[in-house]
Structure 1
Amino acid sequence: MDLSLTDDQVAILDAIDTLTRPYAGASLHEAGFALPDAQLDRDLAEGGFLDIGFDPDLGAVSAALVVERLARLPQTVEAAASALIRPLLGGDLPRPLCLVEEGRTTRPIRFLREGATVLLVGPSGVSTFTATAAQVRPEPEALYGYPMATLLTVPAERTLHAIPASEVLIRWRIALAAEAAGLLAAALDITVAHVTDRQQFGRPLATFQALRHRLAQAQVRANGVRWLALKAAATLDPGDAALAALHAQESARATVYDFHQFFGAMGVTLEHPLHLWTYRLKALVGDLRGRGGQGLAAAEALWG
């Protein structure tokens, strides 16, 4: 596998950095549990960054790179499903795209709101419908890190799509892993900056060996999630996708506690913006039936 980015991919990421620089520098003091930004969403859509997956010369790898880079922002936008899954369905579906598994429609759904496209995936196939106000109950701001709502009813009249559910699930897992990779990287960066500046016993926290070991483990996990996500995007193999999602969810579980602990009391308040990444990681842990679901999917793909 060639690990070097193409010239087009470098240019895309540079353009994203330029577009998002004003947003990355926004004041985050007491930002709340989630930080959606409608203007950022519009800017990304108008710039074509969420449509990169439609270009066969760029494909799923470039789309995963976009998702990973956008996940590093404190603001949350619906990019993962749009960039990686919408190319399977066609470009005329209104965003945001909200993913739901059959049998799990009562769980809070990320980005669900009136007018959103709900994608229902399961043994009976792949279908979509546009959510109405009567079908959506917004969830109060809670420990999610994303705007969430509950789907009250699933209409009988839906648009059926002639694509296998397995193809959607592969890209869903890749999207999960790519987003988690960006969140892990951003949470790690902000934690390293804190322990480098914070003094204890007359020296920076970062000089204590126990912290250095755990931060090194977090770095290895973040790198591993990113490369597994990109490998899965390159191969579109069900086993690669399941392993990438499994490692992402396991890494989120293993690192979030450490990140907050290293901030001390500040790590359990909204005073510091660390939660804008870690709470999103925790929300991703339960996607697609969690780590157990990914483990079973990987075993089935690898050993049948």
Structure 2
Amino acid sequence: MASLAWQEQNEEEDKLISSLPKERGWSFPYVYLFEHFWCPSPLIRERNIFQKHFQAKQSDVLVTSFPKSGTTWLKALTFAIVNHKNFSKENHPLLTSNPHQLVPPLYTFRGNIHDQILQLSYMPEPRLFGTHIPFPSLPRSILESHCRIIYICRNPFDTFISSWAFFNKIKVEHLPTLTKEEAFEMFCNGVIEFGPWWSHILGYWNESVARPNTVLFLKYEDLKEDVNFQVKRVAEFLGCPFTEEEESNGVIESIAKLCSFEEMKDMEVNKSGTINFEIKRFENKLFFRKAETGDWVNHFSPSMVEKLSKIIEEKFSGSGLSFKMHY
């Protein structure tokens, strides 16, 4: 009976996906317009399974982002902050595991769904998950549980360059490589996995304004400028603030150093390891490129700057959200 129900659900998903508008994706042959964002078909299936079966807990922590906005860094920091009383520098899990393993993707169902739901219920609390899914499409149980959500945003210029470099490396083999010009047109039209990027950013931004105790909105550039201050801010938001003794003993600085791009990139696990990330296996080193702010100036033409600037002005006007460009 269970297998029959599973087959019927798959048929329903096939019918739904075939009815959706589609475009060529950056790393997938097609992305589909699902609940107002562009998504690969496997993730539509997994999201719908989670909507029906996943039960969030109030103690859960969700690390969210648009792709290539500082996700790996924020996952490392969040794990280290939540567990800052549990591990020393010498035996820290980040020394031997990629941040995406320690803060796994929210949508990870494979095989027997009932067994995996059971496994999730046995995870130690607080459970840490990551996702690129836009805020309105998160499972209802997450929205109703008031679990804490941390979102990281990066200026769209650097986000585009980082996305173009990354998606060309992880694309399905037979897909032609996107030129910068092709990718830029798609980006400006919002056609990118989990896009439109402006809707993604504004969804979490507006929720952080409405519910600041539930959604914390961070900027990648702020982390770069003063990581110690942001680490302290995240710890307070998550309800695990540092004591005065911990601060005086340099715990915040220690976390910042452990999770820094230079330290993480140089770890053996991130130089040679691999991870089964959502729907395909990636080399860990792909998550560590440059981590710079302002690299976009080396890639943008004046006409590209003008076009993207106009889109930012149009989409974010009146929102109260601005971006640090770092020329």
TM-score, with structure 2 as normaliser:
0.24
Q: Which has the higher contact order (CA 8 A, sep 6+)?
A: 2
Which structure has more helix as a fraction of its residues? 1
